[in-house]
Structure formats: structure tokens, C-alpha cells
Amino acid sequence: MSLKHADNLRGKAAIAGIGATEFSKESGRSELRLAVEAVGAALDDAGIAPSEVDGLVSFTMDTNPEIAVAAAAGIGDLTFFSRIHYGGGAACATVAQAAMAVATGVADVVVCYRAFNERSGRRFGSGVLQRDPTVEGVGLGWNMPHGLLTPASWVAMFAQRYLHVYGATTEAFGHVAVADRKHAANNPKAYFHGKPITLEDHQNSRWIVEPMRLLDCCQETDGAQAIVVVSAERAKDLKQKPAIINAAAQGAGRLQDQMTSFYRDEMTGLAEMGVVAKQLWQTSGLTPDDIQTAVLYDHFTPFVLMQLEEFGFCGRGEAPAFVANGGLELGGKLPTNTHGGQLGEAYLHGMNGIAEGVRQIRGSSVNQVENVHNVLVTAGTGVPTSGLVLGVE
Amino acid sequence: MTDPISQDKAAFLAVVKKYEGMHDVSGVLALDPVNGPMIRHWAEAMGDTNPVYTDPEAAARTHFGEVVAPAAMLQVWIMRGMQGGAPANSATGELYKHFTDNGFGSVVATNCEQEYVRPLRLGELVQYDQLIETVSEEKTTGLGTGHFITTLTNIYVDGESGRELVGTHRFRILRYTPHKKKAKAAPPAERPLRPRKVVNKDNQAFWDGVAAGKLLFQKCLDCATPRFPFAPGCNKCASLEWDPVESTGKGVVYSHVTMHYPKFPAFDMPYAVGLIELEEGVRMLGNVLGVAHDRVRIGMPVELEFVTHDAELTVPAFRAVGEN
């Protein structure tokens, strides 16, 4: 992975299995138990025995150490384990690092996982009220005494600037929410199955942090998702049609902060996602026109607009027009978040989006796009992040 | 293992569930036919000036062809007046007695859903049937613990070929035991302090500046680039040499938000937080003062004002210039 040249990872590894628990508001069991269930389900899906797993990857925010998951999931010796920082920005990076491990022979079967009781346990949206004087604590400390306390508030600061610079209205955010919820309405696993919304519903929903409303914010979810990565060669002989990893990248931008990159030249884009985009196009050899469907990280709707621009699906400031008239819906310009996204299906820190990317490659999505060859998947926005291009070959 | 409380609850639920589907009343005639005076009073009270409800000439020009009653008046025609209510010997009367006898003495209406099949016209006398549709399992809400009861009223008029359904009215109430009040009203909660500033060796100088009434940013001694937030080195030239520089505190709103939810008791909700671009070219956060939260605008000129919230916390804030 490099900005200067294409890397050597293209086509070397594949996602061979996906597995998740149910997505709920109160799982009734431990986060470790959820992790173990999802890992087991993903291995079943791949047709690989736990004894073959030699690598595990998760998030630094995950509370389940690799060794504890291994112990309870029938997994033995591990030769590769890694946990990635920066919240939801880690999602695609778990797969990127797993791909590097299998491509280099450091491990043969790597399972990526994320498990939490984010609704019934620690809720990320409840506000940051105290931090120790670490570097990250000091970073948050610039916001806290003024009452800028929640992820929604940090994103809203960018959203306000974006609307101002491009003369857009909050309806642009609404179109993202409507697309997500339309797709979720058709997905039995989605929390909002059968519950589409209209643009009017979006505009009538209450303010959370102006200019963002309730329906601009993702859900809070209890659940777990796991993803099995093996070499592309091995994947050919397994149970499922492989989702080939044609590019995988991490990215942090200049003067990067965690959700509060307020001090850069511009606040109308996501420089870190630009770093990811450049690498993904470079290594995959693809352009936006080659992507049939995307999973764009959607903890909050405004950052979906900026991702469309960072990846070049449209020009700067053109995302509001791109998403209008069903641009992100099935049959639209770029069917996006066909599982319902984190607004509609579940908030699994982006890992459920990777699973949807795999289903689109397999042809098994509940909202299947026709003739899918390449799927773009992104991870958490506003933080150092990551992305994947998955392909049928 | 079954505890006695849950056994009692199960037994009670079995009793009240038996009422599901029971008819309460059938074919009850309305007290008044659909009539102009009641429509006029209702429309006036609601502020609904649509002439199709009151003006025969205007109504004649619509596809209704004549005056019709507002659809939302449906329940008005079946109300039994101030002394009405469920008679004690009806199914709902009996059901409600079960609830009051078992400690669910409080009641609150929670939902009303209506379907309008066709408009009602002047002179029509409606009649209705009512049944108990559902009795929920025990639920706990913000008010207390109890059961939701949904009644369904089907409203008809006599037509040439028998009764004609004109609308339905679903009404849901919660029969509940209120949450126990604390023995003594809690004293008004002392307002929690604002979240603390976070200070370490890298940003100590900034907060020392605030204590001295100065708003400081950093300036690189090698390339002169101003910077904020405080960091030990320069992103432009990697120099570790810097000086603190005092800002004039004058700037404009670069972006802003208004915090509505969740409610933070240390703050007066809703409140505005601004990202201020100072004239020296660095940005800083602060509450925007002197202007309502919904009047803050990007580009609005502001100037520094230190605000002391408690003995340990003084922070920079920014007052809108030229606002009254």
C-alpha cells in the first residue's frame, strides 16, 4: 500500500466466509460470546475448521482479545494477530492486514471480527465527559469544555461548513438516509426491515446536533460480524464463491485528527479517504465507472456525500445532485449500502458493510445489483480509515 | 424455578387476555346525526377553513358535490357526552375492574388510529360496534408498569343493502401502576460542572495563557507558520522551536453547530459551539455568545471573551460583534 505506486496485493487474497450474530438492541450475552459466535458462523460459511485458523484481527476498540476469542472458538496456535486503531476506521483495515498476512505466507486463515454491545452496554453517542491527559485525551480536551461532546457534534461541524460552501440544503443528507432505509426495508436482518422513510420524514425528524437530525445518525447495535480471509488460490477450492481482494488500503491525511480535523485548510472533504481512494484506484487499476455498487461508511449521512467526491464518483460539491432522485438507490447511479447501511441494517463499526460487499460479489444480496464485477467498501469516516475493492476475479 | 411473582403475573395475564376479541357493544346509535352546527364549531376550533365542510355552494363545486363532515371528526359522532363512559356491566367495564383491582389504577390514552372509508354527509346517523382488540403483556414505560388495551370501534351507517362501514377507530390506553415516587422529593440536582480541560506538557502553555487572560497560539520559529492546536513540532518544517503568540481574539465564525441531544446537564440546551477562524489564521473552538443559537452564521464577526464557569475552569468564548 503506497501513494507512490501500485502495491503487490491485487488479487492475492480473498474473503471466503462471512458470519454474524443477529443485530439487536440487547443481545443478552457477553461481547466475547458474540465474537465467538460470529467467528464460528464465518468459518462455517467458508467451510473451514477452527483448527485451521492461525490469524485473528480486530479493532483496538474491541474488548475481546484475540487469545480469548481463540480459546473459546476452538482455535489453536496463532502466528498473526493485530488490532487496528481509530474506531470504525479499522473495519476494512482488518481485511487489508489479513490479506497482507496471507499474501506473504505469515498466516493461512485469518479471521477478522468486531463484537460489541454498543446499545445495551457502552453507547458511543452518550458523550465524552472526561479524559486523562494522554495525547488523545488532550485532543478531545480542546472540545470538551465547550460542550462539543458527541460524534454527531464533531461531524455536524463539517456538515455545516459543507452546506455553506456548496450552497446545499440538509435534503442532501436526507437522500442518503432514504436510500439506506429503502434498502433496509427489504432486508430481514435489518433492524429497520419493513420501515422505509420518506424525505419528509427525514426533514421532520428532530435535531440531534444542528444541522444533523435523528435520521442522519446511525443506529446503536448489539452484535458481531466476522470475515474469513485466505489466499485467492485457496479460496477457489472452498464452499463459497470467493470475493477477491483487488485492492486494500489504509489512509490518514495531513494534520489528521480523530473526528475533529477542524484545523486543516478545508473542512469540505475527507483527506484521509482521499488517501485511501488514490491507493485503491491505483492498485486495482479501476476507475469509478468500474464500480457497480458501493458500501460507504454511514455513521452519519453528511460524510457519505464527501466520500462520493473523494472517490471521484462526482466532482467537489456535486454529491447533493448525485444523491438526489434515487442516485444511491437500486437502479440509481451508484446503488449504495444495499444492506441498509448502518442507518438501516445495523451499526457494526463497518464490518457488516464488508459482508454486504461479499454478498454482492456472490450474487446473494437481498438487494442484488445486476452484473456486479467490482464492489467498493469503505470504513469509518473522520478518522484514519481504510477501504477495499472486492471483485469476482 | 418459577417465582411467585411471575406466577401471579401469568395468572393475571391469562384472565385479561380472555377479553381479547370480546364485543363490548353492537349497533349503538349516535346521539346526534351528522349536522352543520357541530361541524362548524369543530372546524372553527381546529382552524380548518375548508369551505367543503360549511358552504353548500362551494361544496357543490367539489367532487363531493355537497357538504361533508371533516374526516377527523369521526370520533365526535360516537361520543357519549360528559356522563358517558363504559358501563360497568360491559366487557370493557369488567376488564377495567380487573386492572383497578390488581393495582393498575392509573390510565393514560396513548394512541388513536383511524381509517376513513368514505366521507359522512349531513343527516346521516352513524351507529357503531366496539370490541376489545388486544390486551398486551406487562410493559414498563416512563410512566409506570401496566398493560396496553386496544379497542376497535367500527362505525357504520344504514345503507340500502345493510350496514355500510364508514370508518374505524382504534384507541389504545395504558392501565398502569405509576413508578413509586421517591419518599422525599429530591433536592434540585446540583448542576454538574462542565467537562474539564485536559492539560499535559504539550498544551500547558495554552492554559497558562488563559489563566493570564491571554489567548495563545504557536508560531514556528523556523518557518513562521502559525499553528493550533498546540503540538510540539511544526507540520510544515518539522522544527521543534516555537514561540507562544497572543491572538487579538478577533475572528469570524468558520463553522458552527447547535447541540440539542443528548441533554448535558452542565449546559443550557440547546447551545451553539463555534469554530472560529482568528485573524492570525488559526482556528479555535468556543461557545458563541451574544446571539441566539439559531442566529449564528458562518462569516459572522466575533471577538474573544473569557468565561469563568467555576473555580477551576475558565475558557475562551466568542461574542458576536454588532448583535443586540
Is B190 domain-assigned? no
Q: Which of residues 107-126 of A touch B (CB under 8 A)?
A: 125-126
pLDDT band at B116 (very low <50, low <70, confident <90, very high): very high
Position B142 scores a pLDDT of 83
Least confidently predicted of A69-73, B145-149, B245-249, B271-275: B145-149
Q: What span, in angstroms and rounded, lies between the C-alpha atoms of A245 and A93?
A: 12
- For residue B7, is pLDDT > 90? no
Give the pLDDT band of residue A331 (cuts 50, 70, 90).
Answer: very high
Quick one: cell of B319? 461574542
Task: Give how many domains chain A has, as a whole number.
Answer: 1
Residues A342, A356: Cα–Cα separation, whole Å: 12
Report the C-alpha gap between A350 and A388 in whole angstroms.
12
Question: Which pLDDT score, from 0 to 100, does residue B2 have?
Answer: 54
Range of the domain at A291: 13-121+223-391
Average pLDDT, chain A: 97
Average of pLDDT values for A259-268?
96
Most confident range, picked from A208-217, B86-95, B168-177: A208-217
The answer to whether the bond into B229 is cis (omega within 30° of 0) is yes
Instruction: With cut-offs at 50, 70 and 90, classify the pLDDT of residue A132.
Output: very high
Residue B75, in any domain of the structure: yes
Q: Are A299 and A342 in contact, with CB atoms under 8 Å apart?
A: yes
Backbone dihedral angles phi then psi of residue A179, each to the nearest 5 degrees: -65, -45
Matching residue, cell 489567548: B215
d(CA A111, CA B316): 48
Q: What would the mean pLDDT of B97-116 be, rounded to a whole number?
A: 89
Which amino acid, A130? Answer: Q
Its ipTM equals: 0.96
Q: Is pLDDT above 70 for B90?
A: yes
Residue with cell 429497520: A192
Residue at A129 is within a domain = no
Distances (CA, A) of A19 to A227, A299, A323: 7, 21, 31
Please, which contacts does A188-191 make with residues 24 or more away whose CB atoms are closer than 8 Å? A188/A366, A189/A20, A189/A22, A189/A23, A189/A339, A189/A345, A189/A346, A190/A23, A190/A339, A190/A340, A190/A344, A190/A345, A190/A346, A191/A23, A191/A24, A191/A25, A191/A219, A191/A221, A191/A344, A191/A345, A191/A346
The three-class DSSP label of residue A198 is coil
Q: How far is CA B239 from CA A47, B228, B244, in A?
A: 55, 15, 14
Is it the case that residue A33 has pLDDT exceeding 70? yes
Checking if the pLDDT of B186 tops 70, the result is no
Phi, psi values for residue B90, rounded to 5°: -85, 170
Determine what percent of chain A is predicted with pLDDT higher than 90: 97
How far is it, in rounded angstroms, from Cα A4 to Cα A168?
A: 35
Give percent of chain A with pLDDT exceeding 70.
Answer: 100
Confidence (pLDDT) at A1: 67
Does one domain contain both B235 and B113? Answer: no
Helix (H, G, I), strand (E, B) or coil at B103: coil
Domain-located, residue A36: yes
Partner residue opposite A138 with nearest CB, options B203, B227, B315: B203
Cell matching residue A236:
477457489
Q: How confident is the model at residue B89 (pLDDT cuts 50, 70, 90)?
A: confident
What percent of chain B is modeled with pLDDT above 70?
94
Please, which pLDDT band fits residue A56 given cuts at 50, 70 and 90?
A: very high
In terms of residue numbers, what domain contains B25?
7-34+69-180
Question: HSE of B104 in the Cβ direction (CA atoms, 13 Å)?
Answer: 25
Q: Are residues B93 and B131 in the same domain?
A: yes
B185 part of a folded domain: no
E strands within A21-148?
Answer: 55-59, 80-84, 110-117
Q: How far apart are the C-alpha atoms of A103 and A112, rounded to whole Å?
A: 15
Query: Looking at residues B223-227, what average pLDDT do you find?
Result: 98
Look at residue B235 and tell me if it is in a domain.
yes
Which residue has 503568540 as its cell numbers? B245
Cβ–Cβ contact B289 with A under 8 A? no
**How far is residue B75's CA from residue B312's CA, in Å, rounded to a whole number?**
60
Contacting residues of B for A146, CB less than 8 Å apart: 273, 285-287, 315, 317
Averaged over B133-142, what is the pLDDT?
89
Cis previous bond, B244, omega within 30: no
Q: Taking residues B68-76, what's their average pLDDT?
A: 92
Is B86's pLDDT higher than 70?
Answer: no
Residue B40 lies inside a defined structural domain of this protein: no
Q: Is the pTM of the predicted complex or chain greater than 0.80? A: no
Asked if residue B252 and residue B120 are part of one domain, the reply reads: no
**One domain for residues B132 and B272:** no
Residue B176 and residue B29 in one domain = yes
Confidence of residue B4 (pLDDT cuts 50, 70, 90): low
Tell whether B209 and B83 lie within a shared domain.
Answer: no
Active-site positions of A read 297, 347
What value does the mean pLDDT take over residues A164-169?
98
Answer yes or no: is A330 within a domain. yes
Cell of A126: 452518550
Who wins on pLDDT, A230 or B109? Answer: A230
As a whole number, mean pLDDT of residues B294-305 equals 97
Chain B's closest residue to A261, CA to CA, is B229
Q: Is the pLDDT score of B1 beyond 60?
A: no
**How confident is the model over A81-101, as a mean pLDDT?**
98
The reply to whether A42 falls in a domain is yes
- Tally of domains in chain B: 2
**And the C-alpha cell for B39?**
361541524
How far is the C-alpha of B297 from the C-alpha of B274, rounded, in Å?
Answer: 9
Best of A131, A132, A144, A146 to disrupt the B interface (most B CBs within 10 Å) is A146
Domain match, B29 and B146 both? yes
Residue whose grid cell is 473526528? A259
Residues B229 and B93 in one domain: no
Peptide bond into B270 cis (omega under 30): yes
Contacts of A213 in chain B (CB under 8 A): none
Residue A193 lies in a domain: no
Q: Could you tell me the CATH number of the domain that includes residue B24?
A: 3.10.129.10
State yes or no: pLDDT of B189 exceeds 80: no
Among B31-45, B115-129, B299-313, name the most confident range: B299-313
β-pairing, B250-259 with A207-210? antiparallel
Return the pLDDT at B184.
Answer: 62
Query: What single DSSP character describes residue A60?
Result: T
Specify the pLDDT at position A230. 98
CB contact under 8 A, A153 and B260: no
Specify whether the CB–CB gap between A317 and A269 falls below 8 A.
no
Comparing CB atoms, the residue among B203, B229, B264 nearest residue A127 is B264
Contacting B residues, span 189-208, partner chain A, CB-CB under 8 Å = 194-200, 202-203
Contact A144 B266 (CB under 8 A): no
What is the C-alpha separation between A23 and A4, in angstroms, rounded?
40
Across the interface, whether the CB atoms of A146 and B273 are under 8 A apart is answered yes
Contact yes or no for B218/B228 (Cβ under 8 A): yes
Average pLDDT of chain B to the nearest whole number: 91
Q: Are residues B316 and B306 in contact, defined by beta-carbon separation less than 8 angstroms?
A: yes
What pLDDT shows up at residue B183? Answer: 58
Q: Which residues pair with A117 in a beta bridge?
A: A222
Q: What type of residue is B118? A: R
Q: Which of A183-197, B66-80, B188-202 has the highest mean pLDDT?
A: A183-197
Once rounded to an integer, what is the mean pLDDT over residues A80-100? Answer: 98
Q: How far apart are CA B119 and CA B303, in angstroms?
A: 61
Sequence-distant (6+) residues with CB within 8 A of A28 are none
B253 shares its domain with B216: yes
E strand map for chain B: 23-29, 106-116, 126-135, 139-140, 144-159, 162-178, 216-220, 226-227, 242-246, 250-259, 271-278, 283-289, 301-310, 313-320
* Domain harbouring A324, CATH code: 3.40.47.10
Do residues A283 and A13 touch, judged by C-beta distance below 8 A? no
Residue A94, pLDDT score: 98
CB atoms within 10 A of CB B264: 19
Mark whether B110 and B213 lie in a shared domain.
Answer: no
Q: Give the other-Cβ count within 10 Å of B192's Cβ.
A: 11
For residues B118 and B253, state if they share a domain.
no
Helix, strand or coil, per DSSP, at residue A293? strand
**Degrees, nearest 5: CA angle A294-A300-A305:** 50
